[in-house]
Amino acid sequence: MKKNFLILYLLLFVVFGAFAQQKPKYLFLMIGDGMGLNQINLTEVFLAAQEDRNTVFPLVFSTFPYATFATSYSLSHGVTDSGAGGTALAVGKKTKNGVIGMDSAGTTAYKSIAYVAKEAGLKVGVTTSVSIDHATPAAFYAHQPNRSRYYEIGQDLIKSNFDFFAGSGFLSPDKDSDKKEAPSLFPQFERAGYTLAYGLENYNSVKQSADKIILMNVKGSDKSSLEFAIDQEEGDLNLAQITDAAIESLTKNNNNGFFLMVEGGKIDWSSHANDAATTIREVLDFNESVKRAYAFYEKHPEETLIVITADHETGGIAVGNGGSRLNTKLLANQRVSQGTLSKLISDLRASKKEVSWNEVKGILAENIGLFADVTVSEDEEKALQDIYEKSFVQHETETAKSLYANDEKLASEAIKILNKKGSVSWASGSHSAAYIPVFAIGAGAERFTHKMENTDIPKKLAEAAGWDF
């Protein structure tokens, strides 16, 4: 009898010991802006299709042992914006669309999990592939009644005293929300102890001596975002490099751990434009940054927690548009984003007085495969040619506007044809109310299982770390 009790005691000890896991010392919250489950599914189907396989080739984060989904609605709308969506993930409370880190009245500031981590003695990093003052990253350090108050958001960055920031730059560094001239933010950042690094080469030259760092794109680059992954050239700053730099900076002279938020911000942008191939490349780019976090986890498996999620889904994308057979392999013929294709068409028009239809077809064939590796029907060619006639012959302005772009209608229509042939359809050019995916691995990952509210995600992160949130 005593022997049985001893065995039972030992079993209970083992079971409860398993639940009393070590608290994570290193926490990654990685957000694919606009990345719904179908953006992930399309990417995995596309990868398999390149080898003519009727299956999926998983991304690194979709192999994580814990996976679930969460709501995305805001306090004011069934379909959230990135301000309210980012705030939910940062502070664990819902607010109305457009608000950053505050209640719906814009009067009470909420403390984000990043601030809680800082108070717990961890270093904190906030990174993105778009501007550092954009809605999702801003939700982790700023408190503003309107997401468009970019200058004031930049001033909140100083107040945060966080250790590492990275992204393309700042949208309004010298004009306040009333569009009035204001003292530049950059000297203010430096006075607050931040070293400003422009590009990876500059970062590498200052990283050893810098205490706190703001890493931005090289001077003269687009301050609103990094280049789309599909358009990037050698030497362009990318999200994986930013993630590497963040980990390196946050672990330097630090035994207390860190909290790092990484946002793949342009999954949302390409989905707003209904550009499927560019969206795939953005998801793969985000996956590369997750690989960096996962490599860190492999070195510190008992001390690291990685959570992957999204603030919302964009575009209502569907994989399959009528037939049972998927032709996503065709999307590999697209070599540039819709925005770059639009610029190529504009440059062609500006380069000469008369441009033939065959010259335009050559641009489409070279850059997205239409009329070459992708067959175009008579009706589809007529639709494209009608736009060409208005734009190139009659010189009427023909554009297609999305949230972050105003592209040539000819480029938009060509991408639309490729999407259709590649078995992809879209519900809209805006956000949807779809559930957001959640994947987790590491210390405390077992908390991320059942369906949850988006506001539960930071709460469960704090719970795993043992913080009062």
CA atoms within 13 A on the CB side of 106: 11
Q: What is the pLDDT of residue 104?
A: 97
Residues of the chain with pLDDT under 50: 6, 8-19
pLDDT at 401: 72
Q: How far is CA 190 from CA 157, 163, 184, 359, 443, in A?
A: 12, 13, 11, 51, 36
pLDDT at site 20:
52
Task: Please give the C-alpha separations between residue 271 and each of 279, 283, 317, in angstroms, as whole numbers.
Answer: 6, 11, 8
Q: Which strand (E) or helix (H) includes residue 408?
A: strand 405-408
How confident is the model at residue 302, as a pLDDT?
Answer: 97
Of the candidates 158, 148, 71, 70, the one whose C-alpha atom is nearest the C-alpha of residue 106 is 148
Task: Give the pLDDT score at 399.
Answer: 76
Q: Return the pLDDT at 303.
A: 98
pLDDT digits (tens, 9 = 90+) for 372-402: 999 999 999 999 999 999 999 888 876 777 7
> pTM (2 decimals)?
0.94
Quote the pLDDT of residue 127: 98
DSSP 190-249: HHTTEEEEESHHHHHHHTTT-SEEEEEPPTTS-SSBPPPGGG--TT---HHHHHHHHHHH
93/110 Cα distance (integer angstroms): 8
Give the per-residue pLDDT at 10.
47
* 466: number of Cβ within 10 Å: 10
pLDDT, residue 318, reads: 97
**Tell me: the pLDDT tens digits for 388-440?**
999 998 888 767 777 777 889 999 999 999 999 999 999 999 999 999 999 99
pLDDT at 405: 73
